[in-house]
Amino acid sequence: MNSVFIYSSKFDTYSLGDSHPFKPYKVSMVYELCYRYGLFDHPWITIKEPLPATEEVLEEYHSREYLDALKGANSGSFDFTMINYGLGTSDNPVFKGVFDFSLLVAGATTMAAELLVSGEADTIFSPVGGLHHGGYAHAEGFCYINDIVIAIQRLLRKGHSRILYVDIDAHHGNGVQDAFYHTNKVLVLSLHQNGESLYPGTGFVDEMGEGKGYGYTVNLPLPEYTDDESYVRAFMAVYPSLVKAYQPQCVVAQIGLDTLKKDPLTNLRLTNNGYAQVLKEIRKSSSKLIALGGGGYSVPDVVRGWTLAWAIMNSIEPEDPYQGMVGSALYSHDRGGAENLYDPVHAISPVLRKDVDAYIDSNITSIREKIFPVLGID
């Protein structure tokens, strides 16, 4: 194994606004907590600082007209024509350095793709990547670009013809789905809170791809109040079968943590215990993995969860040598190991579970009846 954690303190210099839920600085908090738990102290692990991408890299997916508008917003000044490109909204405010920030995100994620292609690394984590809502010619959902699409397109051009993209963010990754809806070279799987109750209002089970891509888009929407037990059961009902049938050459995972019950923008009921179980299955599914952070808006909980994610990716048991010496609100237990990072166990009531599971079972049945046969799954 050769692992790379992609990090730059320059992410801390960008802000979408004090009241905006997306906080780029959380990458530094993840870095610091991983350092505290000894998760970089292994010979196969390297930390690399990304350089900003060039504008030409963004043009690999985005329209020139949109990029001109985004570049024009870099000063932090807004004009009303920007609204045509989704800029200047409450979700995607214009802020000083917005174009520079987008270039840095793209630089980090394309670095991950190049490290994988070159063979320099087989496991890469870029916590600020994963902007899965970004459109070809517009910003939306806190996403000014779509670094995921750019990276996957690069992997396709450089010899990977079967890529599994798995998205466990609470919000449906509509931008990535749109980009690969007509191809069988990328299998897109998304588990998310259903579009009936959460932005972006897409990702229903009957969105299955078109043309050569029919059956290669798999959506498993979840009802509100889905907890660890129901979430893990849903994931395991489809993911291992898809992996076995598709035999991906690599996995690109968007591992957003807005599924947690403490998240202020969503209404699922996960803890990072269920999240960790799913990450272990993703890790097991391929020797080549690119993980991208995505969403998550309860910052201390996201920091702990992504620290756990890095440990899981590298099969490391976290240990805190400073336990009892340095206090922090991030730590709530007395012991200095992985126990400090895990959430308390939470489960919904049996009455509520009956309704949650009935909704999930209906969607699993639909996937098994309509998608599994296309992929040759019995």
Catalytic positions are: 133
Interacting residues of 41 by C-beta distance below 8 A, sequence separation 6+: none
- Cα 368 from Cα 111, distance rounded (Å): 36
The region, left, alpha or beta by phi > 0 then psi within -120 to 50, assigned to residue 303 is alpha
Please answer whether residues 270 and 262 qualify as being in contact, where contact means their C-beta atoms are separated by less than 8 angstroms.
no
**Residue pair 317/283 in contact by the 8 Å Cβ criterion:** no
Angstrom distances, CA of residue 114 to CA of 52, 96, 102, 324: 14, 29, 18, 41
Q: How many whole angstroms separate alpha carbon 59 and alpha carbon 38?
A: 39
Burial label for 55, CB within 10 Å (0-12, 13-18, 19+), is: middle
Query: From CA 162, how far away is CA 220, in angstroms rounded?
Result: 21
Classified as helix, coil or strand, 124 is strand
> Do residues 152 and 165 make contact, with C-beta atoms less than 8 angstroms apart?
yes
**Non-local CB neighbours of 126 within 8 Å, separated by 6+ positions:** 6, 50, 108, 109, 111, 112, 290, 291, 292, 293
Nearest to 341 by CA among 31, 33, 23, 8: 33
Give the pairing type, strands 45-48 and 3-6. Answer: parallel
The first and second tokens of residue 99, run together, are: 């174009």
- How many Å is the Cα radius of gyration of the chain? 20
